[in-house]
Amino acid sequence: MARWRPRRTLKLTAHLRDGVAPVPLWKREPQEGLSRTLEERWTTLQRHCADQSSHLRLGRLIHRLTHHDPGVQESALAELELATQLIRAGVRVRFLPESQARTADLECHLGRERFFVEVTAMVGSATRRRLPLRGIAKNAEQGEEEDRGVILIHRILARIHQKAKQLADYCDPVMLHISIPRADLQSGRQARPKAIWMDVKALAGAVTVLLTGLRHLSAVSIALWDVEPLPSKAGTRLANVELIERTRHQRTHPRVRLLIQNPCAAVLFGERQADMLTEML
């Protein structure tokens, strides 16, 4: 079972005017301004996640979905989407209480097997989003720039290494899910910026190598919403990697989804769990 010290759960309330007693967030209805799809997903989670800690997190999720900061919005959206997908795949999902110590976001049960999921979205700081989406100068005299796809791969590896630190105390399988939103949202522009071309097989190989030193992480799932996969230069395929590419016209789904299992994990996903995660791609 997971190991961590008991932490104090935050008490979340929404204060009303005219001296009326505060109403717990988990009892509130979805706020106006959400799309019908988001409301349906939120209602699905509220119905299936019956415990109080989940309802508290769902109350905060509503506020994050309508937040002015794109980073907060995308993080909440990634949690909402993945939790809904897991429920549709037959998984019992519980949102873990927020605490002073960083823990995973979701506790999941598939049959008698348990695993944990941490969800994160890579949007970047407001300062970074205002910068032009160009490559980093590699040779100033010749005007060369490092490929933006390579830069994004480095950022993904850095995020995996950062997030892995908060997941070291779990004894059950743990998956880190990373969502990279559309580039037009990250740039803060109305017009769609130049596409990011990426060698997704190189990304899968780099993540696999990194995971060999992070044995407490069982797998990493990556959703790339707005990249252009480069044509594969080799016919080799890593046995621990599942990869799905969709056309650029399917804007309601990520362009690329990857499931990268850790071949050196201390605790591996069971066959049933692995099949379920693969089908979710």
- The per-residue pLDDT for 193 is 57
Q: Supply the pLDDT for residue 190.
A: 47
- State how far the Cα of 88 lies from the Cα of 82, in Å rounded to an integer: 10
Q: Which residue has the higher pLDDT, 136 or 224?
A: 224
pLDDT at position 172 over 70: yes
pLDDT for the residue numbered 13:
38
Whether 77 has a pLDDT exceeding 60, the answer reads yes
What is the average pLDDT score of the chain? 80
Looking at residue 112, what is its pLDDT? Answer: 93
Entry pTM: 0.80
* Mean pLDDT computed over 248-274: 93
- Please write the tens of the pLDDT for every residue from 6-15: 433 334 333 3
What is residue 280's predicted lDDT score, i.e. its pLDDT?
94
At 189, the pLDDT band (50, 70, 90 cuts) reads very low
Quickly state the pLDDT bin for 113 (edges 50, 70, 90): very high
Q: CA-CA distance, 95 to 49, in Å (whole number)?
A: 8
Q: State residue 15's pLDDT score.
A: 37
- pLDDT grade, residue 123 (50/70/90)? confident
Which of 199 and 66 is assigned the larger pLDDT?
199
pLDDT at 35 over 50: yes
